[in-house]
Structure 1
Amino acid sequence: MVKTQNNSNFLAVYFIAIGAFSLGMSSYITAGLLPLIQHDFNVSITLTAQLVTVFTLAYGLGSPVIVALLPENKQKLGLLSALFIFFIANFISALATHFSILFISRLFAGIGAGVYLAIGIAIATTVVNPQQRGQAISMIMGGMAAGTVLGVPIGLLISNQLGWQASMYMISVLGGLAFIGLYFKLPQVQGFKVQSLSEKLRLLQDRSVLKILFISLLAAVSSLGFYTYLFPFLNSVDFGAVQNITPFLWFWGVGGILGSILVGYVAKRVSNKRLTSWIMLILSIVFLLIPFLAKWNPWLTLVPIVLWGAVGWALQVPQNEQLIIEREQKGGGELAVALNESALYLGSAIGAGMGGLIFYFNWPLWYLPVFASFIVFLGFIYQMKGN
């Protein structure tokens, strides 16, 4: 794709980031709203939890399919359509009077969110100067991290007072603001290579792209997999008997916001491949530090947990930028980014499943961080082989 605009259009990136904030909030807040939703609709918690499942599957699996079918010469229309679907779906969620309507609205919200992020990242790299590409992606990922870390607890606090619908209205309003801003400030983007569906699918034969996706998969298996079990790990007698996990998750999230934003400035000076290597190595070391520090005092783990959040979120900036670069002349950059999101969701599921085996077989809990460190170190070695 061709760079079509200059610094004056960086404002459009901020509006994309606002949409990413609402996306991050929508992705994670439903889990916290389950008791309220269950009470209102008088359904089982198992059925209520499927609201999270359907959003996740639609986001991680449905979005690449939709992106693959979208015409490349209609990227602005595609972005605005995805954001409009996301905005409307959350609004309908807030108004839903039957559980089936809420379920279907979460499905469409997930599709809209996944398509929006993939196209948004691809477009952001075209409306800024080439040297600002990493900074633009980091701004979007920072918005998503902020939506998770700041938007979710604020939304839960408000919803506990006004009802779970309040969070859905908040998400919808933020999505609407982003839509209005992008409608007026985002220029028509030219230069995306128009391809047939069969040509797009050849992306799956691109070894460079597959390598990047594999690195994202390994990072998600280790990072998001261990994150799933952070509370039972720190709650165990051997590692501090922590009763309140909230401060630790806050530090992880704040690290994620800082890492997502600051990595954009680092990306200007360091190649994407080298930056990815550094991040994978730091992740591997961080995971090994956590059990040793937790043995001594669990509060000491806040330092590696901040680093974990920072580099874990930061990783997707060089990864996504490298995908865009790899497909710049071949086309399909937006599909590559969508597949990267799918790799993250798949890796998270694999990591959670493998972590569950440790509990099933009653193995020592220090296996969790050591396994995470080993997996991400394999990714580091694999990444270094190509540098």
Structure 2
Amino acid sequence: MLMLERWGRAMARRRWWVIGAALAFLTVGGVWGSLAFGTLITEGLDDPHGDGSRALVRAVLLVVVFGGVAALSLPPTIGGLAVLGAFSALRSAEQEGSSRVGGVYAQAADASYARGRWDEAVAYADRLDQELLANPSISYLHAVAARIAIHRDDRETAEARLRAGGFLNPADQGRWAGASGPVADALALLAESRGDLAESLALRAAYLDLPPGPDRAGRCDEAVYLVRAALAQGEPALAEAAATAVAADPDPSPHRSLVIRFCRALVAADAMELHSVAADFGHSACLHHRALALEEVARVLAEQGDLAGARTACTDALAAWLDLGATWDARRLEARLRSYGVRRGPRTVCRRPAVGWDALTPSERHVAQLLARGMSNPDIAAELFVTRNTVQTHVSRVLTKLQMRSRIELVQQAAAIGETEGR
């Protein structure tokens, strides 16, 4: 991690770091290792301003996030440090005024979403000014924020973000769905949240129109979403087509291999394999995919008549969704299993309130606890491995939701916060 941070700071002065890092990533192999190599060579060496921090962060995130920790041939703990090192390099770029920090924020937002650090994903997206967000190559970040809002049962915010990105024009939705995975997923989620399952499935089916090759391989997650939607709506042939398509693309990355296993297990209704896939997604810190897989374990067991097993899996899936703050997904899961007679008890999933301690997301609660201990923004940033600007965004939201004027009030109420968290 410290080495990666030094790279982020010294890249402009020591070009041999670029070459060394690029060759290291090339040894990883696969699409993402090769892309990381190309990123460092083209952006790190061919940079008239000598600013290679963005290239380094992009390369690390490409391999670790999309290629998976196993792609680095490192133990998971060391791979996790590589992720943290990438964010450490991002902080260095921000503090030193990198001219390309906007692009770094976009990469960090993508990585944070993939890892289930959704508060950080929104914070990074919101750091970009409106002029930059209007750029078609970055405007998809509105869709990243919209996906999170839908998962957290805030459709109003999701619609506002999609509208800001220009994605709600019916005439353009097909084009956007074909061009951007996050936009396609956000539009499909929005349609599903409105109850329009046919429209949601049609948007997801656009994945099959993508030409085979590296670009489609990079959007392999959409195959999982399509298989799930097709099976839920009684379209097994469509589900089989998606599972076949994702397996045909030439990318041996660990993440894509997991996605292929996920799709095949869904089509085969193999609860044991789905449970194994969920565990492997958990090991690689893909928390959203882990929750999806656990939900499907519960659904398959319920369909097969194993209500006791389904109830246990339902409890695990609900915990996974609620850890992400995904109340919409948790309520969907309960509704799906209720038809099989599987209930988790009298307690129900409620919409998150607008103010008060219960209004805070998991990340915001963590920040509030650190604030209550009197920690400064730089200390919190170091504790959470995020940038200081991200911490400031969290602090502002915490104070607004707790209806406090300053962090001093929060420190003064530290005891009450501890009691609330211990409930």
Bin of the TM-score, shorter chain as denominator length = under 0.3
Larger Rg: 2
Query: TM-score if structure 2 supplies the norm length?
Result: 0.24
TM-score normalised by structure 1 residue count: 0.25
Higher relative contact order (CA 8 A, sep 6+): 1
